A and B are shown apart, each in its own frame.
Chain A
Amino acid sequence: MAEENSPERSPLRLILSVIFIVLLPLVVGLYAAPRLIPQPKVGIIRLSYDIMSQTAFEITEQLAVARQDPSVKAVVLLINSPGGSAAYSEELYLDVLNTRLEMPVIATVDLLAASGAYYMAAAADEIYAKPTSAIGSIGVISTLPGDALIEEDLLTTGPYKAFGGTRDGSVRQIERAKFAFLEAIRNGRGDRLAPEASDDFLSRAEIFTGVQALELGLIDGLVANEEAIRRAAEMAGVTNYEVVELYPLTFGDDGAPAYFQSQPPPIDAQKLWARPMNLPPGMYYRYIELPSSQ
């Protein structure tokens, strides 16, 4: 019994003590740490080509994932787009504003951020581009309804049921949409816009180079995408982060169509600048180059 009450610890006890006091918490700590503190992510969302229903759906889904995934600490919008549908552009603008409530959103432009694409970008915390990126075309494009005629065999319950409205009324609606566009830009950019970037000037709808856009305060810097990502991480307060494409995270679940599994292919500049065919009626925040002529 004397030996049993010896102050000297038995090796077994020592081993058990080390296991329970050191190894166990360490193992548990090491196990729990990645789960408690996952490596923060900077999510990449690509806006490529036209803003139409499909692109708007994909991007809003990715933004939702970013907001729901606690490891996603910042979002970088990588833009190559001539804009598109006015309503979907506005949807993206509002969704980016929502996301900004939870994490920084940085927009970075490769080739083109025109019209609705810039509209969306204006909602981001900061916008970056390359010196010769094409940025601007701030305005609305739309066809006008035909002249209101009545037909003997086509009966409507209102004078504009078959036309939507008067041509003159549509002109004023389009102009009002332009003012809303300008307001969105001013709202997003605030006092970063240069004094010369007045509404009158911006509504000329010019496309600027990245350098010009920087002078006008339409963007915040001329940096590579990597730097834009780093800036997003910095704004999010993360120093060691993983850059992830949100596209496969969003659409990679089982049962998703196969074409959702891969990232968008590299940008096809021809397709990017191409004039759209058969645009349905409606308002567009889109750059459309008229056919050239001799």
Chain B
Amino acid sequence: MRKGILFLLIFLLLLAGPTAVRYLNFYDLNPAERDAPPPYNPANIAPVPTPASSDFVDQPEVGEGLVLLDIAHQNNFTMEDIAYLDGRLAARGFELLPYEGGDLALALRTVSAFVVVTPLSAFSMEETLAVSRFVEQGGRLLLVGDPTRFNIIFDEEDFFAEPTLETDLIPLNSLSNAFDIVFNGDYLYNTVENEGNFRNIILRREGFGENELVDGLDKLAFYSAHSLRVGASGDALITADENTWSSATDRAGDLVLAAASQDGRVLALGDIHFLLQPYFTVFDNSAFIARIADFLTGPQERQLTLTDFPYFYRQPAALVYTGAPDLGPDAFDEIIALQDAFRRVDRALSLTAVPSDDSDVLYLGLYNQAEDVVDILASAGISLTIDPPIEIDAAADEEVLAEENGEEPAVADTAVRLIQSNLGSVQMSGTSLILLDEKDGQRRVVVLAASGEGLGNSVNRLLELIPLNAADALSDCLLQNNLALCPSNVSDEAVEAELDSGGAATAPPDDEAPPIEEDGGGLDEPVESGISLEDMVLQDEISVGQIVTGTLAEDEIHYWMFNEGPATLDILLGGVELDGVLEIYGPDLELLYAADNSITGEDEALLAIEIPDDAAYAIVVRDFFGRSAEYTLSVLPSDE
């Protein structure tokens, strides 16, 4: 029995032995303990909350003006991006005027503020200087950068070339450096507390500077922003908290997202996204944008200069002749020329005897009739001395007497006719005065001369200020601040007692008017009314029902003679490349009618105009920009 058990044990041992040996060979009898994997339940992750939007209601003060918007430097934004800001500006009566290139200094003449958003191409030295001067003169400058608004340029000719990165840093800094503000080449992030993403920075009141732009605001959010480096003459407007980091330095703390110059005229922002929908609804962003609109449209600190004429005029401006003289054809020519020039820059000028208190004014007159503007002159430190006084009636008598004797009117050797200002004392004779003054929001320009002819020449100077040659127009003048003393370009100019603008009493009768002859004879002399046929090219005579074509060379003006009055006509001018100007001058070269809708390719039309007399009339055709262009001129009987 025992033997049997022994055999059975041996049997089992040998049967299980290999398995046991194998197990012992493969496995550790004391294996290491392992922790069970922890349960994982991602559904417990809380949703990221949507921020509260403010109940801000914009209640702006309505004004009027223009804000220049740069789109000439590959600006990486769309109008939709700034639609809300544009709306806030519109609510304040201001319009965004795009700057597409050209003379920036000139473009800045018309506006109260300049807005530059994410430019990718550099500003030229001239542009940078123009912006600095604009701000020096009180203009507002808004600079908006954004780290997401870059452009990667691939070399199409070299497939393997490294792409080039265009960012807004250099263009923005070329403008902001002058104001001790520098845009950094970074983006800011906050992984501790943010608005839905690490690059969406929450900004709290504790980080706001003492500035009316952020005064009273509680919380803002910027969505991917550059930091700004602010120098001694700049003010940090919005600073992020200590958990906000800069990607460039990987350091936290004291990171500025918005800054202003100390004079408050320059505002630099490191983010564009807070202007966009839906981000402008977050926290107090919409209120902040309204403040930015206030900044751009706020009370004008801008120091106006004469070279801004007539862009600084608000609508409508009043034209006033000092001393209330009787106005004649020469004055009408001046008035028409000025009104035409104002109209071309989208402004209105209306003749009035007494301007209202709230309208801007252009005063024209003689030194001897300057009583209306004495206060304005005095406020600019200017006094006029005419001693002995020139009595209007006496002067007229003297002139009549002198003419009868074939002599020049006598002027006493001891007579004093001086303009006294901080430029010194200047003789009135041969000198015209142009002064820009602003008081209580009313902008006034005073133009005085010794004679009617001198005044006409001064008006021509003003007209030359309007187009691009503003610097040239006053280049021969003594110019200081807003006072210009210019040569009147009248030789031996007498200080006239009263403005004689060829009034009815002195105008020659119609039958003495110089005829306009077909060959232009007798019309080559410059005419004081402002038009001269001297530089125009006579084409031909044109009749009723005739349609003619012509080709204007560069800077060329054509005129066609019409001698079939009286008639009622429709005169049409057209041309594909033509921004046409159509003018009708009467026998005395007075401007009777003019048409200029200022859009290239559109027809100019003078409809149902009356040609009163059987006399010579000039139909003048030119391109507004002086470009070469073909045109078609039609003189048709009017149906009306």
Interface string of B12-51 (1 = CB under 8 A from A): 1111111101110111101110111110101011111110
Chain B's closest residue to A122 (CB) is B40
Interchain CB contact under 8 A, B48 and A176: yes
Chain A's closest residue to B43 (CB) is A180
Chain A residues near B532 (CB, 8 Å)? none
- Shortest distance in angstroms between A14's beta carbon and chain B's nearest beta carbon? 13
Interface string of A212-243 (1 = CB under 8 A from B): 00000000000000000000001111111100
Interchain CB contact under 8 A, A26 and B14: yes
- Shortest distance in angstroms between A123's beta carbon and chain B's nearest beta carbon? 7
Interchain CB contact under 8 A, A33 and B45: no
Chain A's closest residue to B10 (CB) is A21
Does residue A164 face the partner (Cβ distance < 8 Å to B)? no
Contact of A293 among B23, B35, B49, B162 (CB under 8 A): B162
Interchain CB contact under 8 A, B31 and A32: no
- Shortest distance in angstroms between A243's beta carbon and chain B's nearest beta carbon? 14
Does residue B197 face the partner (Cβ distance < 8 Å to A)? yes
Chain A residues near B198 (CB, 8 Å)? 203-204
Interchain CB contact under 8 A, B50 and A172: yes
- Shortest distance in angstroms between A113's beta carbon and chain B's nearest beta carbon? 19
Q: Using known A-B contacts A37-B23, A104-B34, A241-B26, determine if residue A294 contacts B162 with beta carbons closer than 8 Å.
A: yes
Does residue B422 face the partner (Cβ distance < 8 Å to A)? no
Q: Using known A-B contacts A183-B45, A203-B198, determine if residue A294 contacts B11 with beta carbons closer than 8 Å.
A: no
Does residue B191 face the partner (Cβ distance < 8 Å to A)? yes
Chain B's closest residue to A34 (CB) is B22
Chain A's closest residue to B42 (CB) is A180
A168→B273 CA distance, assembly (Å) = 12
With a 10 A CB-CB cut-off, give which of B7, B30, B38, B46 has the most chain A CB atoms: B38
Does residue A292 face the partner (Cβ distance < 8 Å to B)? yes
Of the candidate stretches A43-51, A93-101, A245-253, the one touching chain B is A93-101
Chain B residues near A17 (CB, 8 Å)? 7
Does residue A25 face the partner (Cβ distance < 8 Å to B)? yes
Q: Using known A-B contacts A203-B198, A292-B162, determine if residue A179 contacts B15 with beta carbons closer than 8 Å.
A: no
Interface string of A59-71 (1 = CB under 8 A from B): 0000000000000
Interchain CB contact under 8 A, A237 and B17: no
Interchain CB contact under 8 A, B31 and A171: no
A190→B37 CA distance, assembly (Å) = 10
Chain B's closest residue to A292 (CB) is B162
Contact of A32 among B18, B21, B46 (CB under 8 A): B18
A37→B24 CA distance, assembly (Å) = 10
Q: Using known A-B contacts A175-B48, A293-B163, A294-B163, determine if residue A237 contacts B18 with beta carbons closer than 8 Å.
A: no
Does residue B509 face the partner (Cβ distance < 8 Å to A)? no
Interface string of A77-116 (1 = CB under 8 A from B): 0000000000000100110010011001000000000000
The A169-211 residues at the B interface (CB cut-off 8 A) are: 171-176, 179-180, 183-184, 187-188, 190, 199-201, 203-204
Chain A residues near B14 (CB, 8 Å)? 21-22, 25-26, 29
Q: Using known A-B contacts A37-B19, A241-B26, determine if residue A180 contacts B37 with beta carbons closer than 8 Å.
A: no
Interchain CB contact under 8 A, A26 and B47: no
Interchain CB contact under 8 A, B21 and A33: yes
Does residue A125 face the partner (Cβ distance < 8 Å to B)? yes
Interchain CB contact under 8 A, B40 and A94: yes
Contact of A204 among B18, B22, B23, B191 (CB under 8 A): B191
Does residue B165 face the partner (Cβ distance < 8 Å to A)? yes
Does residue A136 face the partner (Cβ distance < 8 Å to B)? no
The B251-288 residues at the A interface (CB cut-off 8 A) are: 278
Interchain CB contact under 8 A, B163 and A175: no
Chain B residues near A179 (CB, 8 Å)? 45-46, 48
Size bin of chain B's contact surface = 35 or more
Interchain CB contact under 8 A, B32 and A234: yes
Does residue B414 face the partner (Cβ distance < 8 Å to A)? no
A272→B23 CA distance, assembly (Å) = 42
Q: Using known A-B contacts A21-B10, A200-B191, A292-B162, determine if residue A37 contacts B34 with beta carbons closer than 8 Å.
A: no
Interchain CB contact under 8 A, A293 and B164: yes
Does residue A258 face the partner (Cβ distance < 8 Å to B)? no
Q: Using known A-B contacts A171-B196, A293-B165, determine if residue A33 contacts B26 with beta carbons closer than 8 Å.
A: no
Interchain CB contact under 8 A, A21 and B7: yes
Interchain CB contact under 8 A, A40 and B26: yes
Interchain CB contact under 8 A, B197 and A29: no
Interchain CB contact under 8 A, B191 and A37: no
Chain A residues near B18 (CB, 8 Å)? 26, 29-30, 32-33
Q: Using known A-B contacts A22-B10, A203-B191, determine if residue A168 contacts B48 with beta carbons closer than 8 Å.
A: no
- Shortest distance in angstroms between A273's beta carbon and chain B's nearest beta carbon? 17
A292→B49 CA distance, assembly (Å) = 35
Interchain CB contact under 8 A, B11 and A291: no
Interchain CB contact under 8 A, B42 and A183: yes
- Shortest distance in angstroms between A24's beta carbon and chain B's nearest beta carbon? 8
A26→B42 CA distance, assembly (Å) = 55
Chain B residues near A184 (CB, 8 Å)? 40, 42
- Shortest distance in angstroms between B8's beta carbon and chain A's nearest beta carbon? 8
Chain B residues near A174 (CB, 8 Å)? 197
Chain A residues near B52 (CB, 8 Å)? none
- Shortest distance in angstroms between A216's beta carbon and chain B's nearest beta carbon? 15
Interchain CB contact under 8 A, B47 and A172: yes
Q: Using known A-B contacts A29-B18, A172-B50, A200-B192, determine if residue A291 contacts B163 with beta carbons closer than 8 Å.
A: yes
Q: Using known A-B contacts A29-B15, A97-B37, determine if residue A172 contacts B21 with beta carbons closer than 8 Å.
A: no
Does residue A36 face the partner (Cβ distance < 8 Å to B)? yes
Interchain CB contact under 8 A, A239 and B40: no
- Shortest distance in angstroms between B433's beta carbon and chain A's nearest beta carbon? 58
Interchain CB contact under 8 A, A294 and B26: no
Interchain CB contact under 8 A, A37 and B45: no
A40→B196 CA distance, assembly (Å) = 50
Interchain CB contact under 8 A, B19 and A29: yes
Chain A residues near B16 (CB, 8 Å)? 29
With a 10 A CB-CB cut-off, give which of A26, A29, A97, A175 has the most chain B CB atoms: A29
A212→B30 CA distance, assembly (Å) = 34
Chain B residues near A97 (CB, 8 Å)? 37, 40
Interchain CB contact under 8 A, B19 and A36: yes
Chain B's closest residue to A189 (CB) is B38
Does residue B152 face the partner (Cβ distance < 8 Å to A)? yes
Contact of A168 among B42, B243, B278 (CB under 8 A): B278
A33→B34 CA distance, assembly (Å) = 28
A282→B51 CA distance, assembly (Å) = 24
Chain B's closest residue to A231 (CB) is B32
Chain B residues near A291 (CB, 8 Å)? 152, 163
Chain A residues at the B interface, C-beta cutoff of 8 Å = 17, 20-22, 24-26, 28-30, 32-34, 36-37, 39-40, 90, 93-94, 97, 100-101, 104, 123, 125, 166, 168, 171-176, 179-180, 183-184, 187-188, 190, 199-201, 203-204, 234-241, 291-294
Subset of 14 A-B contacts with CB under 8 Å:
A37-B19, A93-B40, A101-B36, A123-B37, A171-B200, A174-B197, A183-B42, A187-B40, A237-B28, A238-B31, A239-B25, A292-B163, A293-B152, A293-B162
6 closest cross-chain pairs (CB), A and B: A237-B31, A25-B15, A33-B18, A293-B165, A25-B14, A172-B48
Known: A125-B35, A166-B278, A168-B196. 17 other contacts (CB 8 A): A26-B17, A29-B16, A30-B18, A32-B19, A93-B40, A97-B40, A125-B34, A172-B48, A176-B45, A179-B46, A203-B191, A236-B31, A239-B28, A292-B163, A293-B162, A293-B165, A294-B163
